[in-house]
Amino acid sequence: MAPKKYDGIVEAVRYTPDGLIQEVRVYERRGPTWSDWVLLDRKSFVEKLQKGQRFVIGQRKAYLGSTFDVGQPVRVEKVQGREYILAGEKNSTPNRDLLNGAPLF
């Protein structure tokens, strides 16, 4: 069975005081390998998701450069005309972004 394809791994997240994502720390796919971590602001991250790029929550395995422990997929949901970034189960706290499994930085 072939591994699932995704364009990026979200390693950590930083939220604003009102619960929206301020920045995410991600590894991006660069052909057959991966970038070092990159910081993306919320706007850039949403644009990538809307273009169809697929991201998952995960962590790079120590000493295994292009190998990751991956978790839930990241998605954008529209609630009452606003877009929220979510991972995992349905958001139990409306009006905020929530990436379950991604530690804060």
Q: What is the pTM of this model?
A: 0.89
Encode the chain (105 residues) as per-residue pLDDT tens digits: 446 789 999 999 999 999 999 999 999 999 889 999 999 999 999 999 999 999 999 999 999 888 999 999 999 988 888 899 999 877 666 789 999 999 999
Overall residue count recorded for the chain in this entry: 105
pLDDT reported for residue 49: 96
pLDDT reported for residue 2: 43
